[in-house]
Amino acid sequence: MKTERAYYDYTAAGPYRAEIRELRPLEQKPAKDKTDAPLVAVILDKTIFYPEGGGQGADRGSINGVPLLDVQESPSGEEILHLVNAADAAKLSPGPAELLLDTKRRRDLTVLHTAQHLLSGTILRLTGKHTVSMHLGEETCTIDVDTGGNPLEFSAETLIKVEEAAADAIEEDHPVIIHLCPPEDVKSFPLRKVPPQGEEVIRVVEIEGSDFSPCCGTHCKSTGQIGILRVLGAEKYKGMTRVTFIAGRRVLYDSRLLRQNGDLISRSLSVPVGETGKAVQALLEKTAKLERDIKAFEDAAAETKAAALLSRIGASGPAGAGSSGAGEGGAGTVLVETYPDTGIEEILRIGRAAQKKTAAVLALASEPDKKFAAFCSAKGADIRPLFKDALAAHQGKGGGGPGFFQGLFDSAEALAAFLADIRAAGVVPVATGSVK
Ligand SMILES: [Zn+2]
């Protein structure tokens, strides 16, 4: 049996009386419902809850105190399915029911929907481009406009013009008129989009004199109720231009959030809120320069520490130039150094600088981080077997390639025992004594 639709004019917060006709376990859940919880469809004789459709989300509210999770039209379009948790449905039974509408959500969706008509109509009037589809999201709303494959159709100036024209229409408070007419009469309206086929009655929504659109959603009584419309931007989307917008109270929330952030930046940088963008840009440029300077200092310090390391452990000078054997500092010789107060990041820089100047294997450990990094640039060397086996023997974690290996231990003792094993290994086989 057809559910009577009483949702168009009903926006009151007070209870609405209806009859529960049936509680029907839902066999097929809506695709967007990702939960495992079974749902029950409550069938009413008449409803104040708008079912999802035409780009507008479903209403929320309650039936005899049971919260509504979703509202959908049945596949035939005759019935309206009010979806509730199966556990909650046990509290309901056929008979009289009190319906409560979440009026805040309804007003939000109604304002956004009417704003969408105004926006699409204004874009059409100012640019000649048609809206193809729309979506009212939980955060922002979008319309997709056919711009003939040109995503740059809407410049920033165009979007401001659209926004200003919409603001004028809101201030002028044009009535929004609903026409219910048979399909044969619909041609008398200059419709912005094609009406649905096979309907007995077509619902045409008019923003007085300026925009006519067939639509089944809920709408404000006049444009003034929209309050304000903000175009947030335009971008390329599937060969069209997607325009993002918000309206009504969402503009208030957005403005409040931006102001809170703007004030915080303004106080932090001691600049007026209107100049925070430029100030942040300048700060980022200054920071980038400082980072470049710091890196240059770190690299220079690493070179100095690498030279000190090589002379301390007797590995300075390319092994190919004089010490190509397996003796101290020569190719494949394993040299271990522990740093008691240097972090692994700095050790990595020292190791990278030092390996250019020796064919020995350098195993450098950070005591504070309980980590080590090993380097070997001798041709044909593969340090993995040595480090993998020793790592496993001391419950370390890590990995690497033929010429670089790193690892981490749970305790300083495990790291020390691991390093003692590496030191005892002494030599790794290499093909030649020269640095790659
Ligand atoms: Zn509409």
pTM for the predicted model, two decimal places: 0.74
* Spatial CA neighbour of 136 closest among 160, 151, 120, 155: 120
Give distance in angstroms: CA of 257 to centre of ligand 1: 28
One digit per residue, the tens of pLDDT, for the chain of length 436 reads 899 999 987 777 789 999 999 999 988 777 777 777 889 999 999 999 999 988 889 999 999 999 999 999 998 889 999 999 999 999 999 999 999 999 999 999 999 999 999 999 999 999 999 999 999 988 899 999 999 878 677 899 999 999 999 999 999 999 999 999 998 888 888 998 888 888 888 999 999 989 999 999 999 999 999 999 999 999 999 989 999 999 999 999 999 999 999 999 999 999 999 999 999 999 999 999 999 999 999 999 999 999 998 888 775 544 433 333 444 567 778 889 999 999 999 999 999 999 999 888 999 999 999 999 999 988 888 889 889 989 999 999 999 999 999 999 999 999 999 999 998 887 776 655 455 5
> What is the Å distance from ligand 1's center to 151 Cα?
25
C-alpha 285 to ligand 1 mean position (Å): 47
Ligand 1 mean position to 117 CA, how many Å? Answer: 6
DSSP per-residue codes, 289-356: HHHHHHHHHHHHHHHHHHHHHHHHHT--S-TTTT--SSSTTSTTBEEEEEESS--HHHHHHHHHHHHT
* Ligand 1: centre distance to CA 101 (Å): 20
Separation of alpha carbons 294 and 291, rounded Å:
5
Q: Which helix (H) or strand (E) holds 278?
A: helix 276-313
- Ligand 1 mean position to 98 CA, how many Å? 28
CA of 421 to the centre of ligand 1 (A): 76
Radius of gyration of the chain (CA): 36
Spatial CA neighbour of 80 closest among 43, 124, 34: 43
Closest-CA residue to 407 (of 344, 315, 323) = 344
Phi, psi of 302 (to 5 degrees): -65, -40
Residue the block writes with tokens 């168009």? 8
Instruction: Please give the distance, rounded to the nearest whole angstrom, from the Cα atom of residue 112 to the centre of ligand 1.
Output: 9
Asked if 90 and 66 count as a contact pair (C-beta separation under 8 A), the reply is no
Parallel/antiparallel/unpaired status of strands 66-67 and 141-146: unpaired
CA–centroid distance, residue 216 to ligand 1 (Å): 6
Q: How many residues does the chain have?
A: 436
- Which residues are paired to 231 by β-bridges? 245
- Tell me whether strands 141-146 and 240-247 are parallel, antiparallel or unpaired: antiparallel
The Å distance, Cα 220 to ligand 1 centre, comes to 10
